[in-house]
Structure 1
Amino acid sequence: MPASAFDDLDSYIALPRVEALALSPDGRRAVLTVAALRKDATGYERSLWEVPADGSGGPRRLTRSAKGEAGAAFTAGGDVLFVSARPDGDDAPEAGQLWLLPAAGGEARPVTRLAGGVSSLAAVAEASASVIVSADLLPAATTLEDEAVLRKKRKDKKVSAILHDAYPVRHWDHDLGPADPHLLALDLSALDDTIAAAVADEAAEDAEATMDASTPYPSSLPRPRDLTPAPRRSADVEGAALTPDGATLFAGMRRSLPRGSRSILVAIDVASGERAVLFDEDGVDFGEPVVSHDGQTLAFVRRDRGSAERPFDAAVWVCALDGSGARRVAADWDRWPTQLVFDADDTALIATADQDGRGPVFRLPLDGAPVLQLTDDHYAYSHVGVDRARGGYVALRSSWVESPHPVRIDADGAVTPLATPAPVPSTTAKLTEVETEASDGTRIRGWLVLPEGADAATPAPLLLWIHGGPFASWNAWSWRWAPLLAAARGYAVLLPDPGLSTGYGLEFVARGWNAWGREPYTDLMAIADAVVARDDIDADKTAAMGGSFGGYMANWVAGHTDRFRAIVTHASLWALDQFGPTTDDSEFWSRIFTAEGMASHSPHHSVAEIRTPMLVIHGDKDYRVPIGEGLRLWSELAEHHADDDGRLPHRFLYFPDENHWILSPQHTVIWYQTVFAFLDEHVHGREFVRPELLG
């Protein structure tokens, strides 16, 4: 038996994971979305669990199905809504649908039966039966029944072709189209769960079948009303919110540009579908709307899109529901919000944001009073729910040594852990904060995860892990990048926040703007110098690794220093002139770099200077950093560094069916097995052990 789950990769991937939290209207119950490993260890099944929100009692499982459940939210009456592909009759679509679990007890029942399924639960009214879902519909269909017929024809003919007339054509890890995203309104009071309604539906289906027509949409379910007809990509929204009475929907909808889009803030009358544009400004994105509990105030995030000369910025604004009286809140708060909700009395907004390597909860008063940081610990918080009945908040929190778990936060900032079906796994590693000064005097900080037993007598080898983004911070747990796995194998892991990182203000982001290979690189080297000077770190045994932007930096490091014994580069940017037009968001890329900045900071120019063995990792379904980056990197490494027999000191781990992230549990195991074998080979001089399942 392993001493901890981090000593054995199979034990690690089997750990249950809390992924989301929703708080009931009365503040008494928190529903957790929990992922657990399937029996065949090739995926995760998700279920909903209920825990008391006051810190008493234990967890209780609410749902159980082979298809799993996710996207939980509460209705005004305390029922639980969720999305699941669990079956609903013999002829039901296989796609995920919206389901409702009654607060009074009983079985969950379906709310939708859309041929293409429900993509997500977009918004729920706080004081009515109005719900908005996001769903993809084929553009040629005029009714839900027509849509079902068209989908069946494509499936029967095995047609997968997609015709585009606008950019983009794919996003992160999936192709866009042929269906377009729509926002559909549902009235849950029309949910007819009676025997008579079910009999009527069956009779209607039988009658339609005899006429060889499409199956009618069930009359026992509330018929979805399309609030975004002929949307193209406009309903791929940046957040949505309903007024408490469900009468008005606010959404950050997309306005098309020649090579992309920007977000505008619109108000849609749910009854009529009439739309009013509240905010639409060149060079600005509007999104993440939230409505006050009294239905009087709208809050949103206004994002300046920036340019190659200056970073973009994000600010919190409020206005009346008609858009009048718009003003910025917390103008001196130099942070980017990651979540916004109104406080219980509507006099302030509750926000989360990156802050100095952490992710605290903040209170942003609407009257101009100073911003108050509610939590003051080493954690990052998310999924904050406001307890209007008793005060305080419920949220998830995590750090680099504690996986996400639910907590209650009192108004004074005191934090109480709640029950969870996924306990935080134990570790013997220690989390230490480290910092240094860059050459210009800027403070550079990070976290250092130290393995058990690291001291002056037995110093630990160091892994420099560079975060992705690049606009991010090493402040919250990640199941994909788990430093505790390396610590369990004796490595110390440095998690630094160099220039471009969030949580330190706009000027810190600007340090590496249009020059990724400048301050971000020197910041990384400066903090690495400070850490290897410690007596519990072995300065002669170091390696570097990173993914996405971290992969870019790993490539840049490889071409500009030979101080490391090994470098791992995952999903990495290599040739920026090639990357720009082929990524799924080329407009953003072209906006944040000048041609000169892109050319002078492309790692591929230094391929001949690479002296350190590299492990290149890439997934073929990665659309953010396309596979061409990894293929070109490998080709050019071979051009410059292969011997006469074509063999390289480098290795290439290729995943034909993974994307930007390696998400399948079995592939996660192979990823870590290969990474640790490569590091052990070059850091410790051990023989490379090829993972068995690589053949």
Structure 2
Amino acid sequence: MTTDAATPFHDLDAYVALPRLAGLTLSPDGSRLVTAVQTLDPKRTRYVTALWEVDPTGQAPSRRLTRSAKGESAAIFASNGDLLFTSARPDADTDDDNPKSALWLLPAGGGEARVLATAPGGVGGVTVARDASTVSVGAALLPSSTDLDDDAKRRKARKDHKVAAILHDGYPVRYWDHDLGPDRPHRFVADLAALTDEVPGALVPAPSSGEKDDAEPAAAPEGARLDLRDLTPAPGAALEDSDADLSPDGRTLVTTWRVTGPGPTMRSTLVAIDTESGAQYVLVDDRGADVFGPKVSPDGRFVAYVRETLTTPQRAPEVTLAVVPLAPKQSPRSLTTHWDRWPSSLAWLPDGSGLLVTADDDGRGPVFHVAATGGGIVPVERVTAGDHVYTDVRVARDGSAFYALRSSYLAPAEPVRVDLADYLAQDEGKRTPVEPTLLRGPVPAPALPGSLVEVETPASDDVRIRAWLALPDGASAESPAPLALWVHGGPLGSWNTWSWRWNPWLLVAAGYAVLLPDPALSTGYGQDFVQRGWGAWGDKPFTDVMAVTDAVVARDDVDETRTGMMGGSFGGYMANWIAGHTDRFRAIVTHASLWALDQFGPTTDASFYWERELSPEAALENSPHRFVGDIRTPMLVVHGDKDYRVPIGEGLRLWYELLSKSGLPADAEGKTVHRFLYFPDENHWVLTPEHAKVWYQVVLAFLAEHVLGVAPDDDAYPGLPPVLG
């Protein structure tokens, strides 16, 4: 690739080297804001995360707090202002040359970070009490382990005997890209106030000899490490992929608790656990829904959470926000049954009068205010103005402001401050959304190679369909741009924010206009919009995509004679469906795609969910593999072997049937216009930097060959990457 590119999107090396910001935490006094930044390691083969501090006032520049080869993440402030984080960086006080992720502390008053807690399988899922010194972490133990020390011995035995086998007695057995078991997640609790300031690691003579060469690190003195107490000694699979929160006084941990069962009945409940005794009770057991994302109110009296109804092949999920008193045998109350949007995250206001909630909304993801007091229907009002998506909402304890990360297709995540007090001072029901203040984050927004416009068109049933259209600089009636239609995954999602993995600007830099539509099943347009595509993937989602494509190719700055189509996951399903139902596109890229739906259902990592989504009859009716004989378009198939959500069998069967049964089969010598890009060690997304480069290089070469008519070995195009041979 060129090294003097106009933007980072003209050079894949420059693109993968762009720093990436994620996560946000606010100190109790509101004076410190910390985020994490991913950058390439010196070999440029993986990303390493470091913590950075951002000035909440927006005056001072950001400064780096941590630096290590392993990186740091999951930062959270303790109630006394100390910064906690997790890292697998080496501990100077031990001789472990292969450490697992541990809990570290960076003192508020300055000084070096030190390890607070370790576990043989690593720790994560850190949560702290708002007003107390209690901290809770997650750590996985083997089923027979009695405690962390015993777990270490059992893990060593497995390693020494090179045993990797797992004996399962339940479902699921894997998740996204990793196998589940034999260890199971537990929840531990500890008291930060019990720590001392003593520093472990002074060299002392080993018992066997007084020689200097026998010196070894001393054991950590009493109080130098946290005493982790297991709150869930026999959880089984209940804490897999769990969410947890501590009450402000640290006395109660609220966590999701998976209820296993036959087939589609699997769901999550909410359980409250006393952090002193370990006694627990069920807080919410909703047999018709999954519940997740619990947040305890600042006064400790209530828990807010997100409720998602269990689907059926006839009925799409409904997502609402609910609250329940933090006490046994209480009844939840829904806050947003009247609101035609799906809440995705929540944060309490300091006085407990309401919550700040994020939700997809018409191709954006604003912050909304939801009242939590009073009876009847509570108002929901939009807080933030603009075309952004917000995450990591952190509210200052004095209620003056909240902080968040915002992103859009014009810029990746960046930290902002929103003046909350002024917003809430407006009359209820008449509040005007406010513009956030951009803070001086550690990562500047990159220059873009084009512009972004919004388009919409009526669908076949007169429902409004909208999309983003990214146009290259110079696209005009005199020089119309070729079009790349890109369908999102999910399918319950939206093209509404920046993605490092699915980035349209790389195609824009290559001269394409990129269409990002939100067809039926997309979120942010109301319950009916999702329902119209439910159980009928090949119907309204397909016709919606075609309708908005028709509207865009009618523009004079888009060349309707040169079009390609691409998609991943559900978008890959749609690519396969489109390939069998129209030959209007010159090339189709299908990534991690569903091909034979009857085969897919029992082999995906969450078959219980799939069983709730499509009946066997609907799965067959909507399966793309039935139309392989009608495919007349060159296809690039991409799949990773570590993809457990859409198993590799889908890609393998698609590839074989393209070559043997499609309208463009392999010739007598086995040659074909189709291509199969296979990643033996990648998952659903293809994440490592060099593989991401290969992905885009091959995709761009394939589109150039078939959409632009540029041969892969033509000097005008870089062609296939040399590393592929």
TM tier, smaller: over 0.9
2:114 maps to: 109
Are the counterparts in 1 of residues 198 and 221 from structure 2 also a CA contact under 8 Å?
Answer: no
Q: Secondary structure at the match of 1:154?
A: helix
CA separation in 1, counterparts of 2:219 and 2:208?
A: 6
- In the alignment, does 2:344 pair up with 1:320? no
Offset, 1:55? 1.3
5 Å matches for 1:560-579?
A: 560-579=581-600
CA separation in 2, counterparts of 1:507 and 1:637?
A: 36
5 Å matches for 1:290-689?
A: 290-322=295-327, 324-366=330-372, 367=374, 368-389=377-398, 391-411=400-420, 412=423, 413-640=434-661, 641-688=665-712, 689=719
Offset, 1:527? 0.3
Offset, 1:202? 9.7
AA aligned opposite 1:647 = K
2:179 maps to: 175
Residue deviations 1:519-565, cap 9 Å, x none?
00000000000000001000101111000000000000000000000
CA separation in 1, counterparts of 2:473 and 2:68?
A: 40
AA aligned opposite 2:721 = P
Q: Quick one: which of 22, 30, 33 aligns to 2:33?
A: 30
CA separation in 2, counterparts of 1:37 and 1:435?
A: 38
CA separation in 1, counterparts of 2:441 and 2:658?
A: 48
CA separation in 2, counterparts of 1:138 and 1:205?
A: 33
Offset, 1:283? 2.6
2:55 maps to: 52
CA separation in 1, counterparts of 2:724 and 2:272?
A: 53
2:196 maps to: 192
CA separation in 2, counterparts of 1:351 and 1:513?
A: 26
Q: Secondary structure at the match of 1:232?
A: coil
Q: Give the total of aligned pairs.
A: 685
Offset, 1:390? 5.5
Q: Secondary structure at the match of 1:515?
A: coil
Which deviates the most, 149-158 or 517-526? 149-158
CA change 1:216–1:519 in 2 (3 A) is farther
Offset, 1:198? 5.6
AA aligned opposite 2:589 = V
Offset, 1:389? 2.6
CA change 1:273–1:381 in 2 (3 A) is same
1:211 maps to: none
Offset, 1:646? 1.1
Are the counterparts in 2 of residues 118 and 135 from structure 1 also a CA contact under 8 Å?
Answer: yes
- In the alignment, does 2:255 pair up with 1:251? yes
CA change 1:205–1:299 in 2 (3 A) is farther
Offset, 1:203? 8.6
AA aligned opposite 2:530 = V
1:134 maps to: 138
CA separation in 2, counterparts of 1:134 and 1:309?
A: 37
AA aligned opposite 1:603 = P
Are the counterparts in 1 of residues 350 and 399 from structure 2 also a CA contact under 8 Å?
Answer: no
CA change 1:5–1:199 in 2 (3 A) is closer
CA separation in 1, counterparts of 2:291 and 2:205?
A: 45
- In the alignment, does 2:722 pair up with 1:692? yes
Q: Secondary structure at the match of 2:308?
A: strand
CA separation in 2, counterparts of 1:191 and 1:477?
A: 42
Q: Secondary structure at the match of 1:407?
A: strand
Offset, 1:338? 1.4
Q: Secondary structure at the match of 1:683?
A: helix
CA separation in 1, counterparts of 2:300 and 2:469?
A: 46
Identity of aligned residues (%): 54
CA separation in 1, counterparts of 2:349 and 2:339?
A: 18
5 Å matches for 1:80-91?
A: 80-88=83-91, 89-91=93-95
Which deviates the most, 364-373 or 493-502? 364-373
AA aligned opposite 1:380 = V
CA separation in 2, counterparts of 1:493 and 1:456?
A: 17
1:153 maps to: 157
Offset, 1:420? 1.4
Residue deviations 1:398-424, cap 9 Å, x none?
111211111111223221111111111
Which deviates the most, 218-227 or 51-60? 218-227
Q: Secondary structure at the match of 1:553?
A: helix
2:278 maps to: 273
CA separation in 2, counterparts of 1:232 and 1:637?
A: 43
2:12 maps to: 9
Q: Secondary structure at the match of 2:577?
A: helix
CA separation in 1, counterparts of 2:503 and 2:444?
A: 17
Are the counterparts in 2 of residues 267 and 277 from structure 1 also a CA contact under 8 Å?
Answer: yes
Which deviates the most, 132-141 or 558-567? 132-141
The TM-score, its normalising length taken from structure 1, stands at 0.96
Offset, 1:132? 1.0
Which deviates the most, 359-368 or 549-558? 359-368
Are the counterparts in 2 of residues 27 and 390 from structure 1 also a CA contact under 8 Å?
Answer: no
Q: Quick one: which of 64, 67, 71 aligns to 2:70?
A: 67
The TM-score, its normalising length taken from structure 2, stands at 0.92
CA change 1:614–1:223 in 2 (3 A) is same
CA separation in 1, counterparts of 2:129 and 2:46?
A: 33
AA aligned opposite 1:525 = M
Are the counterparts in 1 of residues 201 and 219 from structure 2 also a CA contact under 8 Å?
Answer: no
Tell me how large the CA RMSD over aligned residues is. Answer: 1.8
